[in-house]
């Protein structure tokens, strides 16, 4: 089938590559000429395991192509996916200008029936706005053409996006037209094996489903972070509590890892947007407001602990392991590492940081500054440091040579923002070890 994707960002590219992979003829449209040139040359502007190979293979096979020509895009696909960004406005609501601009372009150029698929995460009611925008342009052209608008939210995790798309646990489609529903069933057929993963519903429910999923996951995390704070006050170990509650299948083991807060392009933005939506319809979502407040507090927790340990941080050197908001991505949007580093800089401390893929991104964000030293290895970052803060649980950090680490650090103090290490082992290795929601074990005397 012929598919056009507007927006060659994260969601658009993954969607385009995966739909081409199963044999569709996909054209990706983006306004950014540099990005399109890079893609045409076989490059991929983001880091996502497996994506570059998939893009190259399908481009070579002629099933995937790229253009900045909007008219060509509208002419190409029966399906017109909208996968452009919806950055948060000042007040936390999603900014729909790019989505609606695509809708208007489709209206300007279409010559026969089109199915417009909202893939971007957009507030409830956006499909109606897309429909109005498109219909308005058709009317001004004096054309009476048929089209449908469908909501088809994505549930991709960064670092696992290809797998999530190719083997989804559900495919949510919101439409009010049974004929369109059938066409989407055909398009998603190759991903809908073993048992029916398509969940068909009305458009508004599909739009809300996306927010509900992310808000629920964020709630689990903030709940556990709340428990970790209580555990610290009460002398309990949140990791034992985690295993104890996770065994109940109604709770489950997933997404109950306490840490130094959730980041990324989705949870913070979507929780904010849903709070904003709730308020705007006269229902302040109390649970979500708390989820956000707890997360803001949690991102400050490593800095609070460092301060509690050292008192004044001016002139101190702190090693930071992990800059990305989670492993297997170079994405630093809303990353806890940023809150920590910025607080340390404000205190007059120096950061020596290592991340296996996000250092370029870090340099792009912060530029060169004397109080930030980006180091080629984790060990180099730890050299001469007063303390080490582990912020992202990359595999590379899981089993360091602790003796060597102790020797290169100025003092053996570790703040573990992801509860990666065993407190007893750390004490045995001679470290003062602070984790999240875990009792401290006194180190053996040197």
| Tokens 């989820």, located at residue | 291
The rounded Cα 139 to chain-centroid distance in angstroms is 38
Instruction: Report the residue from 96, 156, 172, 420 that binds ligand UDX according to the rule CB under 6 A.
Output: 156
38 assigned ligand-binding residue: no
Asked if residue 211 binds ligand UDX (CB under 6 A), the reply is no
DSSP one-letter code for 377: S
Instruction: Report the residue from 126, 214, 219, 337 that binds ligand UDX according to the rule CB under 6 A.
Output: 214
Q: Of 183 and 217, which CB lies nearer to ligand UDX in the complex structure? A: 217
Find the Cα–Cα–Cα–Cα dihedral 387, 391, 397, 403, rounded to 10°: 10
Minimum Å gap between C-beta 287 and ligand UDX is 17
Residue 14 near residue 156 (C-beta atoms within 8 A): yes
Asked if residue 158 binds ligand UDX (CB under 6 A), the reply is yes
Bridge partners of 5, per DSSP, are 28, 81
Minimum Å gap between C-beta 228 and ligand UDX is 10
Give the C-alpha separation, 257 to 260, whole Å: 10
Ranges assigned E (strand) in 72-201: 79-82, 114-118, 147-151, 171-174, 198-201
Q: Of 246 and 430, which CB lies nearer to ligand UDX in the complex structure? A: 246
Give the C-alpha separation, 61 to 14, whole Å: 17
SS3 assignment, position 213: helix
SS3 assignment, position 413: strand
User: x/- binding map, residues 263-302, to ligand UDX, per CB under 6 A?
Assistant: xx-xx-----------------------------------
Minimum Å gap between C-beta 157 and ligand UDX is 4
Minimum Å gap between C-beta 180 and ligand UDX is 23
Q: Of 36 and 266, which CB lies nearer to ligand UDX in the complex structure? A: 266
Q: Of 106 and 256, which CB lies nearer to ligand UDX in the complex structure? A: 256
48 assigned ligand-binding residue: no
Region near ligand UDX per CB under 6 A, out of 21-29, 149-157, 307-315, 350-358: 149-157
Q: Of 66 and 257, which CB lies nearer to ligand UDX in the complex structure? A: 257
User: x/- binding map, residues 370-409, to ligand UDX, per CB under 6 A?
Assistant: ----------------------------------------
For residue 198, give both structure tokens.
């398509």
129 assigned ligand-binding residue: no
Active-site residue, selected from the candidate residues 18, 28, 260, 266:
266
Give the C-alpha separation, 306 to 313, whole Å: 8
The number of beta carbons lying within 10 Å of the beta carbon of residue 91 is: 10
Give the C-alpha separation, 80 to 118, whole Å: 9
210 assigned ligand-binding residue: yes
Minimum Å gap between C-beta 239 and ligand UDX is 12
35 assigned ligand-binding residue: yes
Residue 405 near residue 420 (C-beta atoms within 8 A): no
Residues in the chain: 446
Asked if residue 421 binds ligand UDX (CB under 6 A), the reply is no
Minimum Å gap between C-beta 314 and ligand UDX is 29
Residue 159 near residue 326 (C-beta atoms within 8 A): yes
Q: Of 118 and 347, which CB lies nearer to ligand UDX in the complex structure? A: 118
Site for ligand UDX in 227-266 (CB under 6 A): 255-257, 259, 262-264, 266
Asked if residue 155 binds ligand UDX (CB under 6 A), the reply is yes
Give the C-alpha separation, 266 to 334, whole Å: 9
Q: Of 295 and 350, which CB lies nearer to ligand UDX in the complex structure? A: 295
Site for ligand UDX in 316-375 (CB under 6 A): 325-326
Sheet holding 79-82, edge to edge: 64-67, 25-29, 2-6, 79-82, 114-118, 147-151, 171-174, 198-201
Region near ligand UDX per CB under 6 A, out of 154-162, 186-194, 372-380, 408-416: 154-162
Instruction: Give every CB contact of residue 296 below 8 A, 6+ residues apart in sequence.
Output: 261
Total site size for ligand UDX, rule CB under 6 A: 19
Give the C-alpha separation, 68 to 32, whole Å: 7
Residue 266 designated active-site? yes
Contacts with ligand UDX, residue ranges (CB under 6 A): 154-158, 214, 217, 221, 255-257, 259, 262-264, 266-267, 325-326
Active site residues: 266
């Amino acid at each position: 089938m012929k598919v056009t994707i507007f927006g060659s960002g994260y969601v658009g590219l993954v969607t385009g590559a995966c739909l081409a992979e199963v044999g569709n003829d996909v054209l990706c449209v983006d306004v950014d000429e540099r990005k399109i040139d890079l893609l045409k040359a076989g490059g991929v502007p983001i880091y996502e395991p497996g994506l570059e190979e998939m893009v190259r293979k399908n481009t070579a096979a002629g099933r995937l192509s790229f253009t900045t020509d909007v008219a060509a895009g509208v002419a190409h696909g029966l399906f017109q996916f909208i996968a452009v960004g919806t950055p948060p406005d000042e007040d936390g609501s999603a900014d729909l200008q790019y989505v609606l601009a695509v809708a208007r372009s489709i209206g300007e150029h279409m010559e026969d029936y089109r199915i417009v698929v909202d893939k971007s995460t957009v507030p409830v009611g956006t499909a109606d706005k897309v429909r109005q925008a498109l219909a308005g342009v058709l009317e001004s052209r004096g054309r009476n053409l048929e089209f449908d608008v469908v909501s088809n939210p994505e549930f991709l995790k960064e670092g696992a996006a290809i797998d999530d798309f190719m083997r989804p646990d559900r495919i949510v489609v919101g439409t009010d037209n049974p004929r369109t529903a059938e066409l989407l069933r055909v398009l998603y057929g190759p991903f809908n094996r073993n048992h029916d993963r398509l969940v068909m519903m009305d458009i508004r429910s599909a739009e809300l489903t996306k927010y509900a999923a992310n808000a629920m996951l964020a709630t689990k995390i903030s709940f556990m972070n709340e428990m970790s704070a209580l555990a610290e006050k009460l002398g309990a170990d949140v990791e034992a509590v985690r295993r104890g509650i996770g065994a109940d299948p109604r709770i489950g083991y997933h997404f109950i890892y306490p840490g130094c807060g959730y980041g990324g392009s989705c949870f913070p933005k979507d929780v904010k947007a849903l709070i904003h939506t709730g308020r705007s319809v006269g229902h302040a979502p109390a649970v979500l407001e708390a989820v956000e407040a707890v997360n803001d507090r949690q991102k400050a927790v490593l800095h609070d602990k460092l301060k509690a340990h050292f008192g004044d941080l001016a002139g101190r050197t702190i090693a930071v392991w992990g800059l990305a908001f989670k492993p297997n991505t170079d994405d630093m949007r809303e990353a806890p590492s940023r809150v920590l580093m910025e607080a340390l800089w404000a205190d007059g401390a120096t950061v020596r940081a290592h991340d296996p893929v996000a250092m370029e991104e870090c340099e792009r964000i912060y530029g060169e500054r004397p109080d930030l030293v980006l180091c080629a290895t984790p060990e180099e970052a730890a050299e001469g440091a007063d303390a080490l803060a582990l912020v992202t649980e990359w595999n590379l950090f899981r089993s360091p040579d602790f003796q060597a680490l102790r020797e290169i650090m100025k003092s053996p103090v570790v703040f573990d923002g992801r509860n990666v290490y065993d407190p007893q082992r750390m004490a045995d290795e001679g470290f003062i070890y602070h984790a999240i929601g875990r009792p401290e074990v006194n180190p053996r005397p040197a």
